[in-house]
Amino acid sequence: MMAGRLTADMGRSVLNTLLLTLAIAGASPSHALGHKRTDKSKAVRQDVVVAKDTDGVAEARLIEVYRLIGQAQNREALAKADRLVEDFPHFQLAQLVHGDLLTAQTRAIKTFGDVPDTVARSASAALAELREESQRRVRALRERPAPGTLPSQFLALSQKSKHAIAVDASRSRLYLFENSPAGLNLVADYYISVGKAGTAKIAEGDQRTPLGVYYITSNLDPKSLKDFYGSGALPISYPNILDSKRGKTGSGIWLHGTPPNQFSRPPQATDGCVVLANPDLQHIIRTVEVRTTPVVIASQLQWVAPQKTRAESKPFEDALHGWRNAKTSGNLQQVLTYYTPDFNSNGKTLMQWTPTLKTELDQAQGRTIQLKDVSYLRWTDAADTMVVTFGEVADGTRVGWTKRQYWIRQENQWKIFFEGVI
Amino acid sequence: MTHSRLPVLGPLRLLTLAAALMFSLAHADEYADVSQLVRTGKLPEALTKADQYLASKPRDPQMRFLKGVIQRDSGKTTDAIATFTRLTEDFPELPEPYNNLAVLYAGQSQFDKARTALEMAIRTNPSYATAHENLGDVYAKLASQAYNKALQLDASNSGVPPKLALIRELFSPAGAKNQRPSPVPTAPSVAPAPTPVATKPAPTLPGPVVSKAPPAPTIAAPAAVQTPATPPAHAAPTAAVSSPAASATPAAAAAPSSSNASKDAEAAVLAWAKAWAARDVKAYLASYGKDFSPPGSMSRSAWEDERRQRITSKSKISVKLENLAVTASGNTAVAKFRQDYKANGLAVSSRKTLDLVKNGERWQIVKESTGT
């Protein structure tokens, strides 16, 4: 290289073009963060955050570097990348971009992650993974959910659930919602990794992340965990009732963090868990509640307007009210029409479970059954199902049960294939 | 300033050789003596002599610089780092101490520190070729480290550390005037205060800056400074000069000076480039005056043999001069330009300074330096 031509601008156009090709240039961080924090208490997030233990910051700073590259401001991009890797030395994607920006000081950049050929050959898998991670992060930030839309699974969420989580595996993204009386509100979203073999877990050891509607079941003490799990772990309820009915096996599916030497992991890297960067996971752990926080994991989320989902859920609501009315009437035979023949409640067949149902009817003694805090989340794959949670209380009584039911739509009739007290 | 012949990473590093070395008469001998001792490997003697000098002139930047080089050559890295660090503190406008600090840091694999030092050197003097080239190597090294971290590769894959070019002698303040607006404060025989225009480094910058501001007036002051006797300097030829090839088309940018002396000197420079490109060794060597000092301890005849061999061994040489600026005063002239050299597939662009002296009617080169 020659002294006079050795400028920060060198290679800029190529790198710029390259990143544009990767559809990175348009990923403006303001846009990226625009949906992340709408509540006032966390509005500080919109500012330039320097603390390194804050969720989402590393990615926002990476995207800012991308944006500067997109604007052909390589010098500023390098300065910001310098600080980014200083604060997050194990953020491999940031290191890759930093390497490119340093390289661009001396020669033109030919490709994103323009490592020497020998390295490109010996570490081709790792390089491909980082490029994929970059694209997924950028895509998730460029293609935002339309304002006011929610994942189609969230039909109704009672105030018993203060938060909800939805994971879009295709985007390597976890969306965190706050549930207010006005409805669900997207407050943050994070890059995540799923199973090495992708999603749709079927069997133990298949290295896939399950798809379905789950709940956080516990919050594991980080001190009890190996370094590998990072800053904590939130196990979820895999296998759920539908999974078990389908004979799926395996266990120990957690949301957890990353080991000390890895800020984030490739898009497909886990044994089936959903893995987040430690600051992001910590924010989730501090925010969400055990048992009442649903976790929907989809291969690809559909974002729809709540009024549309309300209209679509009318047939189900009618069925649920029909079941309640039947129960209020005390007519066992009428109630039983709401259950599928293959109903199963924790091992009991419908016949074995019918006495339990009869006991409940007897206890109600014709009093009106009230359903309180009703939540229902729809899960549609080969089957169309509904995961329903509510408090069941007969008028004049002080206490009832918190129940969970799984409904399935069969020949346009919604029927219950599981019912249990939780 | 001469350039060390350290092993270097790529062929281009050899290009950054000497720039002007202009000792004031009063002290030139002592600097030269110490330099000579260093060159002949008598480091303890050199250190003693440097310390003796510094006992009476503790702030003297040139001798402190030499001392740093001696310490470095003696393997006293920590001492050398301390010496150059203090020089950067006392004379933040000098790029050379930063450059050498970077060399020492790089030798310790402290590439972040090396980078910071080199960026400071370039901030101090944006057209400082050695620092640019060293920085290029440091950037490449840092990029390699970043890639290894990105891909979680073993650090042992990262190869050998780059060997950066050490600056062995510091510009004298007078010589530095063309490069730097503020002369070294304690330096002897400080030249007249630079004109306001001269506070801009424009004349030494390539391309755009020069084209905006006609350099002639800017250069006037420093040129005057350079008039007094320039002792035979340790000019070192550049690698471009020493390993060239093929046929040439000198294309000179307009020389800004209006004086006849400048025009004559400029013509001599163009003739030199043309002879070189034409592989006319006789005319090429005749461009150099009898006072021309070959690099290192090379004799004139040995240098001529080397030049002849290198020039005639190429099938085709191209030498283009850009942004040529010649300033003359009396019988001396300084020509600064960017030299684009191509030969046998090697293409090298570097900044060059030629000092010329008028002998009778002929302008001849007495000093050739690369870099700023």
Decide if B350 and A100 are in contact by the 8 Å CB cutoff.
Answer: no
Positions of chain A with pLDDT under 50: 1-14, 16-18, 20-52
Q: B254 lies in a domain?
A: yes
CA distance B243 to chain A (A): 16
* Reported confidence tier of residue B296, pLDDT bands at 50, 70, 90: low
Q: How far apart are CA A12 and CA A256, in angstroms?
A: 38
Decide if B151 and A123 are in contact by the 8 Å CB cutoff.
Answer: yes
Domain boundary among B199, B225, B251: B225
The predicted structure's pLDDT at residue A397: 83
Q: From chain A, pick out residues whose CB is under 8 angstroms from the CB of B351.
A: 3-4
Q: Give A104's Cβ-side CA count (13 Å radius).
A: 31
Domain boundary among B162, B197, B225: B225
Q: B202 lies in a domain?
A: yes
Tokens of A113: 């992650």
Asked whether residue B275 falls in the same domain as residue B131, the answer is no
Q: Structurally, how many domains does chain B consist of?
A: 2
CA distance B347 to chain A (A): 9
Contact yes or no for B294/B303 (Cβ under 8 A):
yes
CA distance A95 to chain B (A): 5
Return the axis-axis angle of helices A12-21 and A57-70, rounded to nearest 10°. 120
* Reported confidence tier of residue B368, pLDDT bands at 50, 70, 90: confident
Contact yes or no for A189/A140 (Cβ under 8 A):
yes
Asked whether residue B124 falls in the same domain as residue B255, the answer is no
CATH of the domain at B294: 3.10.450.50
Q: How far apart are CA A11 and CA A78, in angstroms?
A: 13
Considering CB atoms only, which of B129, B130, B143 is closest to A102?
A: B143
Q: How far apart are CA A28 and CA A375, in angstroms?
A: 36
Q: How far apart are CA B242 and CA A25, in angstroms?
A: 46
Average pLDDT over residues B92-117: 93
The predicted structure's pLDDT at residue B229: 38
Asked whether residue B251 falls in the same domain as residue B342, the answer is yes
Give pLDDT tens digits for B168-214: 877 543 333 333 333 333 333 333 333 333 333 333 322 222 222 33
Domain boundary among B193, B225, B257: B225
β-pairing, A401-410 with A413-421? antiparallel
Q: B134 lies in a domain?
A: yes
Q: How far apart are CA B214 and CA A263, in angstroms?
A: 54
Q: Pick the residue with more confidence: B357 or B229? A: B357
Decide if B129 and A95 are in contact by the 8 Å CB cutoff.
Answer: no
Closest C-alpha to A246, from A418, A390, A403: A418
In three-state form (DSSP H/G/I as H, E/B as E, the rest C), the secondary structure along chain A is CCCCCCCCCCCHHHHHHHHHHCCCCCCCHHHHHHCCCCCHHHHHHHCCCCCCCCCCHHHHHHHHHHHHHHCCCHHHHHHHHHHHHHHCCCCHHHHHHHHHHHHCCCCCCCCCCCCCHHHHHHCHHHHHHHHHHHHHHHHHHHCCCCCCCEECCEEECCCCCCEEEEEEHHHCEEEEEEEECCEEEEEEEEEEEEECCEECCCCCCCCCECCEEEEECCCECHHHCCHHHCCCEEEECCCCHHHHHCCCCCCCCEEECCCCCCCCCCCEEECCCEEECHHHHHHHHHHCCCCCCEEEEECCCCEECHHHHHHHCHHHHHHHHHHHHHHHHCCHHHHHCCECCCCEECCEEHHHHHHHHHHHHHHHCCCCEEEEEEEEEEEECCCEEEEEEEEEEECCCCCCEEEEEEEEEECCEEEEEEEEEC
Q: B43 lies in a domain?
A: yes
Asked whether residue B189 falls in the same domain as residue B124, the answer is yes
Q: How far apart are CA B83 and CA B63, in angstroms?
A: 11
**Biggest CA-to-CA distance, chain A:** 93
| Best to test chain A binding among B149, B339, B349, B350 (most A CBs inside 10 Å) | B149
Q: B6 lies in a domain?
A: no
Please tell me which residue of chain A has the smallest CA distance to B204: A4
Return the axis-axis angle of helices A57-70 and A124-142, rounded to nearest 10°. 90
Q: Pick the residue with more confidence: B219 or A212? A: A212
Closest C-alpha to B285, from B268, B304, B301: B304
Please state the pTM of the whole predicted model: 0.67
Asked whether residue B150 falls in the same domain as residue B66, the answer is yes
The predicted structure's pLDDT at residue B26: 52
Give pLDDT tens digits for A129-178: 999 999 999 999 999 999 999 999 999 999 999 999 999 999 999 999 99
CA distance B87 to chain A (A): 24
Decide if A3 and B132 are in contact by the 8 Å CB cutoff.
Answer: yes
Q: Say how many C-beta atoms besides its own lie within 10 A of residue A64's C-beta.
A: 21
Question: Which amino acid is residue B3, in one-letter code?
Answer: H
Decide if B151 and A85 are in contact by the 8 Å CB cutoff.
Answer: no
Q: Which one of B21-35, B139-153, B357-371 scores highest in mean pLDDT?
A: B139-153
Q: Pick the residue with more confidence: B246 or A377? A: A377
Considering CB atoms only, which of B139, B152, B153 is closest to A102?
A: B139
Q: How far apart are CA B203 and CA B185, in angstroms?
A: 22
Decide if B133 and A6 are in contact by the 8 Å CB cutoff.
Answer: yes
Q: From chain A, pick out residues whose CB is under 8 angstroms from the CB of B136.
A: 1, 6, 105-106
Asked whether residue B129 falls in the same domain as residue B155, the answer is yes
Asked whether residue B97 falls in the same domain as residue B174, the answer is yes
Helices (H) and strands (E) in chain B, counts: 14, 4
Asked whether residue B356 falls in the same domain as residue B326, the answer is yes
CA distance B296 to chain A (A): 24
Contact yes or no for B230/B292 (Cβ under 8 A):
no
Decide if B127 and A4 are in contact by the 8 Å CB cutoff.
Answer: yes
Q: Say how many C-beta atoms besides its own lie within 10 A of residue A238's C-beta.
A: 24
Q: From chain A, pick out residues whose CB is under 8 angstroms from the CB of B133.
A: 1, 3, 6
Q: How far apart are CA B204 and CA B372, in angstroms?
A: 7
Contact yes or no for B239/B348 (Cβ under 8 A):
yes
The predicted structure's pLDDT at residue B155: 61
Asked whether residue B254 falls in the same domain as residue B182, the answer is no
Q: B59 lies in a domain?
A: yes
Asked whether residue B174 falls in the same domain as residue B307, the answer is no
Asked whether residue B64 falls in the same domain as residue B171, the answer is yes
Q: How far apart are CA B370 and CA B241, in angstroms?
A: 10
* Average pLDDT of chain B, as a whole number: 71
The predicted structure's pLDDT at residue B171: 57
How far, in Å, are A199, A280, B17, B264 from residue B261 at the CA level? 81, 72, 27, 5
Residues of chain B whose C-beta is under 8 A from some C-beta in A? 12, 16, 127-130, 132-133, 135-136, 139-140, 142-153, 157, 206-207, 338, 348-351, 371
- Compute CA B199 distance to the chain's CA centroid, rounded to the nearest angstrom: 20
The predicted structure's pLDDT at residue B127: 77
Contact yes or no for B200/B210 (Cβ under 8 A):
no
- Compute CA A185 distance to the chain's CA centroid, rounded to the nearest angstrom: 14
Considering CB atoms only, which of A89, A103, A122 is closest to B149?
A: A89
CA distance B253 to chain A (A): 16
Q: B137 lies in a domain?
A: yes
CATH of the domain at B203: 1.25.40.10
The predicted structure's pLDDT at residue B363: 92
Decide if A3 and B144 are in contact by the 8 Å CB cutoff.
Answer: no
Average pLDDT over residues B228-235: 37
Considering CB atoms only, which of A98, A103, A123 is closest to B153?
A: A123
Phi and psi angles of residue A391, each rounded to the nearest 5 degrees, phi first: -95, 130
Share of chain A above pLDDT 70, in %: 87
Rounded to 5 degrees, what angle do the CA atoms A365, A367, A370 make?
130
Q: B2 lies in a domain?
A: no
Sheet of strand A384-394: strand arrangement: A154-156, A369-380, A384-394, A401-410, A413-421
Closest C-alpha to B355, from B187, B125, B172, B185: B172
Please tell me which residue of chain B has the smallest CA distance to A106: B136
* Reported confidence tier of residue B161, pLDDT bands at 50, 70, 90: low
| A93 and chain B in contact, CB less than 8 A | yes
Decide if A6 and B135 are in contact by the 8 Å CB cutoff.
Answer: yes
Supply the range of the domain harboring residue B329: 239-370
Asked whether residue B37 falls in the same domain as residue B62, the answer is yes
Give pLDDT tens digits for B11-50: 223 222 233 334 444 566 888 889 889 888 899 999 999 9
Q: With 90 as the cut, is the pLDDT of residue B262 above it?
A: no
